Amino acid sequence: MARLEERLKDKARALGFDAVGIAPAAVPEAAATGLETFIAEGRHGTMEWLAATLARRRHPRALWPEARTAIVCAMNYGPPQGLDPLARPKRRAHGVVSLYALRRDYHAVIKGRLKHLAQWLVKHTGAEVKVFVDTAPLLERPLAAQAGIGWTGKHTCVLSRAFGNWLLLGVILSTARLAPDAPARAHCGSCTACLDICPTGAFIGPRRLDARRCISYLTIEHSGPVPRRLRASMGNRVFGCDDCLAVCPWNRHARAASEAKLALKEELLDLPLADLARLDEAAFRRLFATTPVRRAGYRRFIANVLIAIGNSGKAGLADPAAARLDDPHPLIRAMAVWALHRLWPRETWRARRARALVWEHDQMVRAEWLADEMERTA
């Protein structure tokens, strides 16, 4: 009879996981220290929850003292054949949503399968289990490397020889003592393609990310206006960014996602910015129902769309941006002002500014109307 570990992996694959590995319930010291440095240097931006949960993230047993084994499962979400993620930012009048978010929210899909696998493990060992999918203070990526799923690429994401870097992770912690797999070895070599392509220069070195400059952070996690110096580099990316993933040479071995519940929603692929700018909150929720895009929230998303409109160079997109000058949310008004500053003729801009400054009292929005004057006199 096959060993328990092999039967566990067979069960995981039968449930739809593309890769599975086993590791001790312990994060390598280098990974824990790297997170500490990341937070100490302020590179986590406004993600205060990372700092608040640092002690528990350092070690899975701080989260659950009885844990002995981590079972790491991965689902492939590779793009379908013929879809070039690096070509999408070139369609300047369309909004780009990161590929992982153009499908059903993976948290629900993976968690359901993990629960089935955990129940199988309980049945065959009597051990206790806990299931995690990116919603608890657990360092999944270092655990994935320890479990042999893949190594941590220079872009800080898990990279696999079989699937490239298109992998979504889930973890089962258990009191069972299972034989661990060999940790994955890094195969990046001297390649720096992922570091070099970043539109905003968010990497300060291999495996050293400054989230405050990362488009994924800026379009999803960041609160408040995106710093002016970074907006032009965001292009038409309105939720996340795939550039550092898509450029990786190991993706030549990648394959399209096979899990039906993670099928790409092609109707959401590169929607016109004009249509996105006209969404009200109810329409936003309907359009992106069941997808991760809702996580950004309506205000953040529309603000991202307006930045993309400002970067489009399309004068015809000024009208949907101008319609947002009366929006009740200051962040949206402020980004509409920025977009129109880049699209309107100078005379139109100055005339509208003179009128707006009479009634606009929000300091963030006023700062956008006055930004060019302040920059000129700085």
The strand order across the sheet containing 129-132 reads 19-24, 69-76, 167-174, 129-132
Structure-token pair, residue 250: 């190991």
Q: What angle do CA 154, 235, 96 make, to 5 degrees?
A: 80
Distances in whole angstroms, Cα of residue 311 to Cα of each of 43, 92, 122, 278, 308: 26, 8, 53, 17, 5
Contact, 320 vs 128, CB < 8 A?
no
Structure-token pair, residue 215: 């488009």
**What share of residues in the chain are helix, strand, coil (percent, to 5)?**
50, 10, 35
| Other beta carbons less than 10 A from residue 10's beta carbon | 12
Locate the DSSP E strands across 81-188.
94-97, 129-132, 151-152, 158-159, 167-174
Distances in whole angstroms, Cα of residue 184 to Cα of each of 128, 150, 170, 171: 27, 5, 17, 17
Give the ranges where 247-345 is alpha helix by DSSP (H). 273-277, 281-287, 298-312, 318-322, 330-343
Burial of 28 by CB count in 10 Å (0-12 exposed, 13-18 middle, 19+ buried)? Answer: middle
Which of 18, 84, 105, 134 does the annotation list as catalytic? 134
User: 208: Cβ–Cβ under 8 A, 6 or more apart, which residues?
Assistant: none
Three-state SS at 82:
coil
User: Can 326 be counted among the known catalytic residues?
Assistant: no
Q: What residue has token string 């270092």?
A: 142
Active site residues: 134
